[in-house]
Structure 1
């Protein structure tokens, strides 16, 4: 059996959450090293004639050909570090698929967020697999059907958990990490994917 945990049952979606994919001490060590050594950026997106900084820090790593475009930005990959290469190898073994890029999102506090979106960029292919590793503080991950405004399902993504979205999920669903006024610890999210050059 590929995954130890049962799937999340949503229509037209394939999601699987493994809550304790890596041990707490390992997750804490990875979190500390990545926060300290990643060359974080806060790019701006251009909306309605104005530039807005994205509400989190980001970095994109990957194979040389794995440039990634989203929100009107083109991210050229930084070369894999030894730690990220090790984590990628473990994630690839878990999901049984090659992954050639990872987006790191650093949520410093509850004011940092990720708005509603689907990972449906053309270079990810028709039914992309996105493997999301969570380190540090717990944040709520919301899902809604495309074209709807109501949240249909929410997950608490704890440190060390791995959420895998695959199949037709990105065709029918959007997801977000909303801002929160509640005190939350800093969180690091690594989303591994396969970018088709």
Structure 2
């Protein structure tokens, strides 16, 4: 059963839109050439976008092989490939803004959008890096916008070590860059605490998954 979504009291009267990037983005340099950028509350009126996406996106439940058995993926998914129309015009605006801010550093535009719907605290994603395709050998970027209820995103050095925690939701932006996908891992762990639904939107360059 999906937990009820509770809108942020601060967002009830906000108009749907994007704030500035520029000097509002805070970069943290990690080990091994990795870094993350954080921009809390980049998307204003984020709860409105959450409701639109929850209703409009053709969400899919998937099953994947894990070792010797096939299991349910503990979240709903939708991937928008290059050239595929996005489900809301604000996502087009967000991608253009990210291209304008990061294009020179990245050297290319963001091309795809992967959406994940975490219905409650039982939905999760285990430790991983986006290393399918070029991310396994090249520095790249993955930009994630979170809408809905906050959930903890954890990062740790690949192979183990102390983890960093960021609670993301209600329009927060995190960008993982440099060697982050190769040398660090990230996860959304399960939680037994009451947790409302969250949608993450991940923008990636060509051939990064």
> Shorter-normalised TM-score: what interval?
0.7 to 0.9
2:27–2:35 CA contact under 8 A, matched in 1: yes
2:121 to 110, 119, 128: 110
Specify the alignment match of 1:145 in structure 2. 157
1:138–1:156 CA contact under 8 A, matched in 2: yes
CA shift, 1:151, in A, is 4.0
Specify the alignment match of 1:18 in structure 2. 39
CA shift, 1:184, in A, is 1.2
Task: Provide the secondary structure at the position in 2 that maps to 1:42.
Answer: strand
1:62–1:80 CA contact under 8 A, matched in 2: no
TM-score, with length taken from structure 1:
0.84
Unaligned ranges ≥5, structure 1: 65-77
CA distance in 2, matches of 1:178, 1:157: 13
CA distance in 1, matches of 2:26, 2:102: 14
CA distance in 2, matches of 1:141, 1:156: 6
1:164 to 167, 172, 175: 175
Unaligned ranges ≥5, structure 2: 1-20
Task: Provide the secondary structure at the position in 1 that maps to 2:43.
Answer: coil
Provide closer, same or farther for how the CA distance between residues 79 and 5 of structure 1 changes in structure 2, counting only shifts above 3 A.
closer
1:126 to 132, 138, 141: 138
CA RMSD, aligned part only?
A: 1.9
CA distance in 2, matches of 1:92, 1:39: 26
1:95 to 97, 102, 111: 102
